């Protein structure tokens, strides 16, 4: 049997075991996907056990960086983003499927006028993904301005030119932007950006990494703007995990199971 799991702290909220186990069952694959909650203080004691007992695993908060010294190979994107979320145990290879999932889910449109909100781990995956598809200039806004400046410096190293601004300039910046990408956690608990419909009227696309409905997504939809929510990035990073682990991929079935499980969660 092929064994996989997700490691993190906490992980009990994760939909991954339900999605993968149902998928394995439906394609008659001899596989199992479990959950390993590892508190930060136990990480060094437990990580070798994870490599020994699982063929592959996903890594979530707070271990995405801590796993790096335990790897022998790191995929280029994961190295640049500085975070691992998918590991193959036999060769100790680490990948970042967040950026891959972003690339697979980002609509093919005119990519001029991209505004990215946030400067955390997800922002890095998204910015790297944007560069991979050929975008070379974006405006980045973050609540903590110094973090936006750090990302500007980081992105220079792979040819992405960032204009960094504090988040409170968003209304002005939106006058010139066409695509708004939210990589912050704002909206996860219904929080709102300080924006009215008028502020969004220039936009063609809102891409929000939050899996569930947010006020920003709702406002965009009400205005007839194309809105892509975080379920698309999540689904597509899961597809990339299956490929990396060499699990047979039947995309239509995997999509059906993903939609079914996610639909039963908060939406």
Q: Catalog residues that contact ligand NAP under the rule CB under 6 A.
A: 98, 101, 118-123, 142-144, 147, 167, 183-186, 188, 191, 209-211, 230, 233-234, 237
Please list, in sequence order, all residues whose beta carbon lies within 8 angstroms of the beta carbon of residue 61, skipping any fewer than 6 positions away: 8, 9
Least CB distance from residue 254 to ligand NAP, whole Å? 15
| CB closer to ligand NAP, 43 vs 51 | 43
What distance, in Å, lies between the first and last C-alpha atoms of the chain? 34
Residue 53 or 192 having the CB closest to ligand NAP: 192
Q: What is d(CA 78, CA 85) in angstroms, rounded to the nearest whole number?
A: 8
* Choice between 119 and 200, CB closer to ligand NAP: 119
Comparing CB distances to ligand NAP, the nearer of 56 and 184 is 184
SS3 170: helix
Taking the alpha carbons of 214, 220, 224, 230 in that order, is the dihedral positive or negative? negative
Q: How far is the CB of 229 from ligand NAP (least distance, A)?
A: 8
Nearer to ligand NAP, 235 or 245 (CB): 235
Q: How far is the CB of 244 from ligand NAP (least distance, A)?
A: 16
Between 169 and 185, name the residue whose CB sits nearer to ligand NAP. Answer: 185
Q: SS3 for 62?
A: coil
Instruction: For residue 188, count other CB atoms closer than 10 A to its CB.
Output: 13
Classify residue 4 by its DSSP letter: E
Q: Which residue is nearest to ligand NAP (CB)?
A: 120
- Please state the closest distance from residue 230 (CB atom) to ligand NAP, in A: 3
Q: Where are the beta strands (DSSP E) in the chain?
A: 2-8, 31-37, 56-59, 73-74, 86-88, 93-95, 114-117, 137-142, 161-166, 179-182, 205-208, 226-228
Residue 191 token pair: 């929080």
Q: Report the nearest approach of ligand NAP to the CB of residue 90 (Å).
A: 26
Strand 179-182 to 137-142 pairing = unpaired
> Using omega within 30 degrees of 0 as the cis cutoff, is the peptide bond preceding 116 cis?
no
90 catalytic residue (yes or no): no
* Helix axes of 121-132 and 97-105: crossing angle, nearest 10 degrees: 60
Provide the minimum distance between the beta carbon of 136 and ligand NAP in the complex, in angstroms, as a whole number. Answer: 22
Residues annotated as part of the active site? 64
């Amino acid at each position: 049997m092929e064994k996989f799991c997700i490691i993190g702290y906490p992980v009990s909220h994760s939909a991954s075991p339900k999605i993968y186990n149902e998928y394995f069952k439906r394609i008659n694959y001899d596989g199992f996907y479990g959950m390993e909650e590892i508190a930060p203080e136990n990480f060094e004691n437990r990580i070798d056990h994870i490599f020994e007992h699982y063929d592959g695993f996903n890594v979530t908060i707070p271990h995405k960086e801590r796993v790096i010294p335990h790897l022998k190979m790191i995929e280029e994107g994961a190295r640049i983003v500085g975070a691992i979320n998918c590991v193959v145990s036999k060769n100790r290879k680490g990948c970042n499927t967040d950026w891959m999932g972003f690339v697979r889910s980002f609509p093919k449109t005119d990519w001029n006028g991209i505004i990215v909100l946030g400067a955390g781990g997800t922002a890095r995956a998204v910015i790297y993904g944007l560069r991979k598809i050929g975008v070379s200039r974006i405006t980045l806004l973050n609540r903590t301005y110094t973090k936006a400046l750090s990302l500007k410096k980081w992105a220079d190293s792979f040819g992405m030119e960032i204009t960094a601004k504090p988040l409170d300039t968003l209304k002005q910046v939106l006058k010139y932007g066409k695509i708004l990408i939210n990589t912050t956690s704002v909206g996860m608990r219904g929080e709102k950006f300080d924006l009215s419909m008028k502020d969004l009227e220039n936009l063609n696309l809102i891409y929000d990494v939050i899996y569930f409905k947010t006020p920003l997504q709702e406002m965009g939809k009400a205005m007839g703007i194309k809105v892509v929510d975080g379920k698309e990035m999540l689904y597509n990073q899961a597809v990339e995990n299956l490929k990396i682990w060499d699990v047979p991929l039947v995309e239509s079935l995997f999509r059906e199971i993903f939609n079914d499980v996610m639909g039963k969660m908060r939406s």
